[in-house]
Structure 1
Amino acid sequence: MGLELKMPDLGNLSESVQPLECRVALVSADRTLAGDWVNALNTTAAQHENPYGVRFEAVTPAGVEHLLREEDRLQALIVDGGSDAQGLAAAEALADLIHGLRSELNIFLITHGAFAGAAPQSTGSIATLRQRFDELFDRREGNFNHMFRLVQAFIARRASTPFADTLKEYVFSARDAWHTPGHSGGDSLRNSPWVGDFYRFMGEHVFNTDLSVSVQVLDSLLEPHSVIQEAQDLAAQAFGAQHTFFLTNGTSTANKVVIQQILGGGGKIIVDQACHKSVHHAIVMNRCEPVYLKSVLHPEFGIYGPVRRSDIEAALDEHSDARLLVITSCTYDGLRYDLRPIIDYAHERGVKVLVDEAWYAHGYFHPELRPTALECGADYVTQSTHKMLSAFSQASMIHVQDPDFDDHRFRENLNMHASTSPQYAMIASLDVARKQMAMEGYGRLKQCLQMVETLRRAVDETGVFRALTREDLIAEPLGGDNIRLDPTKVTIDISASGYSGKEMQIKLFDQYGIQVEKTTYNTITVLVTLGSTESKLLRLIHAFKQLARNPRKRAHVGSPRRLPEFTHFNCLPADAYFAETEELPLMDNGAVAAQDLIGRTSADEIVPYPPGIPVLVPGQEISAQIVQYLQQLLQGQTATEIHGLIFRSDEPLLRVVRETREKKREE
């Protein structure tokens, strides 16, 4: 364990909205021992400094599960292992139950010292006990002062924010800045008649926490050794990783770093066609050979879900030279894979697994949302901490548990992509977001799930709108894949309202001041996060009830456009992207444009949004179906963003690989 028993600076506790209360349960079937120890520990707590409000209570083993599920303020458990092998085995089983339900809690073991030392007689060794329990107490010792201090020290460690505290202390030390950035703590703006309003709008601390890497006390994100490294270690412990790395330029960069770590210089990668564009970019940057897997479309709602497990397994069998499998779980719509059998299948074939958990950073902190990718054995997991937790935009993490992890190479790869001028407020927000989940994540997520149930029930009661269930969202081909749903993403069928998804999005914004997360042609999706409040929920439900009173009659309701079939590659994506190219019109006389484009090789990634899945990637051959699909999107009544097109004088063009003279003569 190697825990340093020192208390962090607790000066910021006075700013808490509510007094802190940390409940610690002593679990024992021996009611006499439990009662005596709890009384002694509470007496000790009353006699010592107790800034966290640590309070002890007794509970029987039979009551532990109820306590874990219902008590949000529970922070630690002391488990009585008795003085024989049977008692120790029961304590180990109980520790596994606790970890399975509340992974963030500290667990301590009371046992007979001589017996614990005779490890072969128990279900495990001392090392095994140390994996399950944070610290061991001898039941004969009875040093309650020491026990109280140790329990408090572990809670304090989890509640610490080493980087955020150091940043705050530095700002309050009011040093004169003769270094970058040029606004010098906001002094360049504060008294300006032209831009002083921006300073006042943003606030003092936005500027005085924006500091230079020359401030050595704040450590280095690119080569951390002190407070940033300590914050990352705490994050690894909180999220269940072996190593965790902070990033201040999003999960886009996180994905590129991991792919470069495994495939820098080239190699074969198996990847979901619907993966984030950063993965496609990394394929180009690292000269990878992609094997794209087709996402399954839900035809009724226009939602692209996961890839069929059988398709993933077939790709792994067919491409024995693949080195990396990339999976997105959960998807933008909250659909997540049954990851363990997929990861096991990949590992049996020597393939590393990267899981993009950009939308699922919260999953480890509530039993209904587990198991997470790390628990299922993923080698690398990337998370957008800012999407669902309390971090600033662009603040992300990479979690690692690759048994072949090369720390030195990874840091070099990370440094190639990370800025040498990181935003310290983002790093602090990662530190604080981790602390919040470690100390109150379970309780906050329990509130979120209660809000979800209230919202879903209220939406269904309108009789016009319908909150889609897991069964509604899983397309028939995925029926046997044990796909799960993250309930914090609530997708609502608005078909009966007579409005399209885009029209409903505008209506909610203009009339009710509500911004939703995403739309399809007949659905809208809202996120229930840690920042959701009862008042926001009330206003959202009110808006749906009002809109349900006056549904609009429409003669024709749209339908989702199915993505065209993915064609083959004429060359590596990198070769196409960096090749000599030409621009060809997409719409000029329709048929003429199609005739010129069919059979050519795309040099760019072309991504219509929605659904945000590329219909072309560099190196891919352009088919008649693809040309027709893009032309239909541009001619449709509903505006569709198409990323990757070039517009010259409002004329859409595609960048394609220039053909050689020899090939033209052959034709």
Structure 2
Amino acid sequence: MNIIAIMGPNHVFYKDEPVRELDAALKQQGFHTVYPQGAEDLLKLIEHNPRICGVVFDWDEYSLDLCSEINQLNEYLPLYAFINTHSTMDVGINEMRMAIWFFEYALNAAEEIALRIRQSTEEYVDTITPPLTKALFNYVKEGKTTFCTPGHMAGTAFQKSPVGSLFYDFFGANTLKADISISVSELGSLLDHTGPHLEAEEYIARTFGAEQSYMVTNGTSTSNKIVGMYAAAAGSTVLIDRNCHKSLTHLLMMSDIIPIWLKPTRNALGILGGIPKREFSKESIALKVSQTPRAGWPVHAVITNSTYDGLLYSTQFIKETLEVPSIHFDSAWVPYTNFHPIYRGLSGMSGERTPGKVIYETQSTHKLLAAFSQASLIHIKGDYDEQTFNEAYMMHTTTSPNYAIVASIETAAAMLRGNSGRRLINRSVERALHFRREVQRLREESDGWFFDIWQPDGVDEPECWAIQPGGEEWHGFRDADADHMYLDPIKVTILTPGMSEMGEMAEEGIPAALVAKFLDERGVVVEKTGPYNLLFLFSIGIDKTKAMSVLRGLTEFKRAYDLNLRVKNMLPDLYAQDPDFYRNMRIQTLAQGIHSLIRQHDLPRLMLQAFAMLPEMKLTPHQMFQQQVQGNVETVDISRLVGRVSANMILPYPPGVPLVMPGEMITEESRPVLDFLLMLCTIGRHYPGFETDIHGATLTEEGQYLVRVLKQAGENEPV
């Protein structure tokens, strides 16, 4: 940070000459100076260049109005005002809180002023740098000689090898110097929560509106397990969202607890609508408990908020309605909800404490904020046993954490503090809204078909749109609850032709997988692909150029599709997977072939039925994993799954929602689950390159999907 913006006076000699002297003195101090053309130009510069570390201006010309506008962008940015003996110093108490320093126009004072600006800049950097990151930066600058881990010794070892030198040059010196041992006492301890690590946790808790926060370096997969290990003792019963991340299934496999599933709704497009209100009632839970062997009243509940497609709950209803001691909101995909008013009341940490309950919220700091992969946070509101919780924390946390990941968590939090942080999130919302409007405009202007967007009419103002009951066919949920679920505007779902929101299949259609492959070959990677929908995430890292690349890709696809180009020319990577099959095929033939298969299997009906009747739980996931460890499993073709107990979670991607859990058996009543899986397999067998990724199943070279099941007693080894 070494850029100083100077708003020069209007060609008055006694003012111009001191400014010229200051410019020279600042350059001697290592600063780079820029001269905006007026106040509006300056504000745009500050907004778009975060390396601006100070503004020099004439007080008589710009005064407090400019200071207030700068303060709205960055309340910490130092401001330096030149005054003369006749200047009016009308500064109130509120304005005095701003970081303003005053200097008189005088010759031969530039060096002293430049030195003061240098000191203020250092204070500014110190103010905005969070505690652990600051300690890590200082440690690296000290350049100490260590005789402890890691073995590369600040990168020295890499430079002793040709391939190691390539690695060193790629990642850079500071990255490797910041990879340090937990033995470095001045940084405190991540496991013991001392020193700068403790300061960082307190800093993060204040930022995210929590009472206590924990930094986790192996992703929210680990955060979920930490919370679950603490909140539910062996033998207890837990309410779990069926739309859970697979890390929670792994928790159930690790810990001997009994799951009771909260079943979400879904629409014909395959978009999850969240758990309906009736599922949270005491009567509904009591019925589930009575139907589940060995189950007692639940001690803990896990809710996915938001869903993969961006639907958020009004969390206060859940907190007040669920009669359990603790509630965990898995908010991996929404770490930003505390920083924009449209998300008020839609996050785990929103509002005050819930009497008699502990609220947990886990967030993937790396998913949509600026943190390294594996960066995650656990937030807590309510009374809990810190020592016991920390034992669960240490069970899953390495004793050799990567300090760069930890510092990136804290830095991501620091970026969200204050006015500049709110502006970051607001930009994401505004860019997503602009993108939505552009898709609508292109649709209106296009000849024939174009892509649609999953949203209500009229999306001009920033808000989360309610999934309301009755007559609102845009969302496709027939039995929606009032004021329960809300669509996050930065999760943008593009719809391809072929299926309506209510599940009506058209004669012709364009499966979304074709569009995703087309975009991927042009450098645009889609977050999630459904049968006829594509999900794009407008995180804080998305700018106008990236959004434009998506719009360009969509329009290029339409042009190529309407020309009915050969697959070989339009999707060369797909063609390369099976040149003989695709040699003379054109894109419309491929699209209609897949679309016809989907219509033949009646996908909307099949998908709704597949998630309406859950398989029967024969063993808990923990019991099933113990059987697997003992070798009491065998492999069968997926078509033989009816009547067999699945050893693993079976999860097709897309849509990325578990269909079968470990220890569950598909019965005749839940056969649509298998029919849905077989339909996905059929598409891959007919069209090379469109094989579905099914977690829990192994795809052979012959195109066969194999799954592991519990051995049947009497035929193999006894269970």
TM-score of the pair, normalised by structure 1: 0.74
Unaligned residue ranges in structure 2 (runs of 5+): 1-28, 33-48, 78-91, 101-119, 290-295, 444-449, 456-464, 468-473, 499-507, 563-587, 685-689
More divergent stretch after superposition (234-243 vs 152-161): 152-161
Checking the alignment, whether the CA contact within 8 Å between 1:498 and 1:551 is kept in structure 2 is no
Checking the alignment, whether the CA contact within 8 Å between 2:277 and 2:484 is kept in structure 1 is no
Q: 1:636 aligns with which of 673, 676, 683?
A: 683
Q: What pairs with 1:173-572 in structure 2 (closer than 5 Å)?
A: 173-299=142-268, 301-313=269-281, 314-318=283-287, 319=289, 321-346=297-322, 349-371=323-345, 372-376=347-351, 377=354, 379-403=359-383, 405-439=384-418, 440-463=420-443, 464-469=450-455, 470=465, 472-473=474-475, 475-495=477-497, 498-511=509-522, 513-552=523-562, 553=588, 554-555=591-592, 557=595, 558=598, 559=603, 561-562=606-607, 563=610, 565-572=613-620
Q: How far off its partner does 1:72 sit?
A: 3.8
> What letter matches 1:453 in structure 2?
L
Unaligned residue ranges in structure 1 (runs of 5+): 1-10, 23-41, 47-52, 58-66, 77-141
Distance 1:407 1:387 in 2: 27
Q: How far off its partner does 1:555 sit?
A: 3.5
Checking the alignment, whether the CA contact within 8 Å between 2:277 and 2:481 is kept in structure 1 is no
Q: Residue 574 of structure 1 corresponds to which residue in structure 2?
A: 622
Q: How far off its partner does 1:647 sit?
A: 6.0
Checking the alignment, whether the CA contact within 8 Å between 1:517 and 1:526 is kept in structure 2 is yes
Deviations along 1:268-313, one digit per CA (max 9) or x if unpaired, are 11111111011111112111111112221210x2222311111222
Does 2:51 align with 1:17? yes
Checking the alignment, whether the CA contact within 8 Å between 1:158 and 1:438 is kept in structure 2 is no
> What letter matches 1:328 in structure 2?
T
Change in CA separation of 1:386 and 1:620 when aligned onto 2, cut-off 3 Å: same
| Aligned-residue identity in percent | 28
Q: Residue 613 of structure 1 corresponds to which residue in structure 2?
A: 657
Change in CA separation of 1:289 and 1:18 when aligned onto 2, cut-off 3 Å: same
> What letter matches 2:475 in structure 1?
L
Change in CA separation of 1:474 and 1:441 when aligned onto 2, cut-off 3 Å: farther
Q: How far off its partner does 1:523 sit?
A: 1.0
Distance 2:190 2:509 in 1: 51
Indicate the SS of the match to 1:251: helix
Indicate the SS of the match to 1:253: helix
Q: How far off its partner does 1:254 sit?
A: 0.5
Checking the alignment, whether the CA contact within 8 Å between 1:462 and 1:544 is kept in structure 2 is no
Distance 1:519 1:167 in 2: 40
Distance 1:237 1:370 in 2: 17
Q: How far off its partner does 1:414 sit?
A: 0.2
Alpha-carbon RMSD: 3.6
Q: How far off its partner does 1:191 sit?
A: 4.5
Indicate the SS of the match to 2:274: coil
Q: What pairs with 1:585-600 in structure 2 (closer than 5 Å)?
A: 585-586=636-637, 594=640, 597-600=641-644
> What letter matches 2:349 in structure 1?
L
Distance 1:143 1:598 in 2: 74
Checking the alignment, whether the CA contact within 8 Å between 1:21 and 1:54 is kept in structure 2 is no
Q: 1:645 aligns with which of 697, 702, 705?
A: 697
Change in CA separation of 1:391 and 1:315 when aligned onto 2, cut-off 3 Å: farther
Change in CA separation of 1:542 and 1:636 when aligned onto 2, cut-off 3 Å: closer
Distance 2:261 2:163 in 1: 52
Distance 2:557 2:494 in 1: 13
Aligned residues between the structures: 541
Change in CA separation of 1:351 and 1:224 when aligned onto 2, cut-off 3 Å: closer
> What letter matches 2:680 in structure 1?
L
> What letter matches 2:693 in structure 1?
E
> What letter matches 1:586 in structure 2?
D
TM-score of the pair, normalised by structure 2: 0.69
Checking the alignment, whether the CA contact within 8 Å between 1:386 and 1:394 is kept in structure 2 is yes
Does 2:655 align with 1:603? no
Distance 2:625 2:147 in 1: 44
Change in CA separation of 1:56 and 1:636 when aligned onto 2, cut-off 3 Å: closer
Change in CA separation of 1:367 and 1:616 when aligned onto 2, cut-off 3 Å: same
Indicate the SS of the match to 1:310: helix
Q: How far off its partner does 1:208 sit?
A: 1.4
Distance 2:414 2:399 in 1: 26
Distance 2:152 2:342 in 1: 47
> What letter matches 2:431 in structure 1?
M
Change in CA separation of 1:566 and 1:358 when aligned onto 2, cut-off 3 Å: same
> What letter matches 2:404 in structure 1?
A
> What letter matches 1:365 in structure 2?
F
Deviations along 1:455-496, one digit per CA (max 9) or x if unpaired, are 011111222112211563351222435310111111111226
Q: How far off its partner does 1:147 sit?
A: 6.8
Mark the structure with the bigger radius of gyration.
2
Q: Residue 112 of structure 1 corresponds to which residue in structure 2?
A: none
Distance 1:182 1:315 in 2: 56
Change in CA separation of 1:350 and 1:634 when aligned onto 2, cut-off 3 Å: closer
Q: How far off its partner does 1:499 sit?
A: 3.4
Checking the alignment, whether the CA contact within 8 Å between 1:270 and 1:315 is kept in structure 2 is no
Change in CA separation of 1:503 and 1:279 when aligned onto 2, cut-off 3 Å: same
Distance 1:157 1:397 in 2: 24
Distance 1:386 1:327 in 2: 20
